[in-house]
């Protein structure tokens, strides 16, 4: 059985960490020496715009998943039916199937 949520969470966590590393650099550039409060205001506008875009993406692509288990929201990848013998090419058959010419 293969667990997909854990690797997916790890990938998104790594991406978030990369963007999180940019935070101090961006904050330092926006705050500067503190002489220009307009630069900080621009930073808040950028943050607000990112949050609004995230909300719009959720409205367009989101699914009603509140209070539901993951399996109720999306079918697990392990739920795919196994291949039948007819789906295998002759060289792919597992050993012991009794379909060889010698059998």
- pLDDT, averaged per 10 consecutive residues of the chain (103 residues), comes to 72 91 85 81 88 94 85 74 57 53 49
Contact of 70 with 82, CB cutoff 8 Å:
no
**How far from the centroid of its chain's Cα atoms is residue 6's Cα?**
10
Closest CA to 74 of 83, 65, 82: 65
Predicted confidence at residue 67, as pLDDT, reads: 87
Q: What is the pLDDT of residue 31?
A: 79
pLDDT at 2: 58
> SS3 letters for 47-92?
HHHHHHHHHHHHHHHCCCCCCCCHHHHCCCHHHCCCCCHHHCCHHH
Give the distance, in angstroms, between the CA of residue 87 and the centroid of all CA atoms in the same chain.
Answer: 31
Query: In the prediction, which pLDDT does 55 show?
Result: 94
Q: Is residue 34 part of a domain?
A: yes
Any domain includes 99: no
In a domain, 19, yes or no: yes
Residues of 38-53 as b/e, b for ≥16 C-beta within 10 angstroms? eeeeeeeeeeeeeeee
Q: Considering the domain boundaries, does residue 23 fall inside one?
A: yes
Domain span including residue 46:
1-61
CA distances from residue 63 to 4, 42, 57, 74, 96 in whole angstroms, order as listed: 19, 32, 11, 10, 45
Based on the structure, what is the number of domains in the chain? 1
């Amino acid at each position: 059985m293969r667990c997909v949520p854990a690797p997916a969470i790890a990938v998104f966590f790594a991406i978030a960490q990369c963007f999180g590393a940019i935070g101090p650099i961006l904050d330092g550039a926006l705050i500067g020496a503190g002489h220009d409060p307009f630069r900080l205001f621009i930073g808040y506008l950028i943050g607000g715009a990112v949050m609004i875009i995230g909300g719009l993406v959720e409205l367009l692509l989101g699914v009603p998943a509140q209070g539901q288990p993951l399996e109720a929201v999306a079918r697990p990848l392990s739920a795919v039916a196994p291949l039948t013998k007819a789906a295998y090419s002759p060289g792919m058959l597992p050993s012991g199937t009794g379909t060889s010419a010698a059998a």
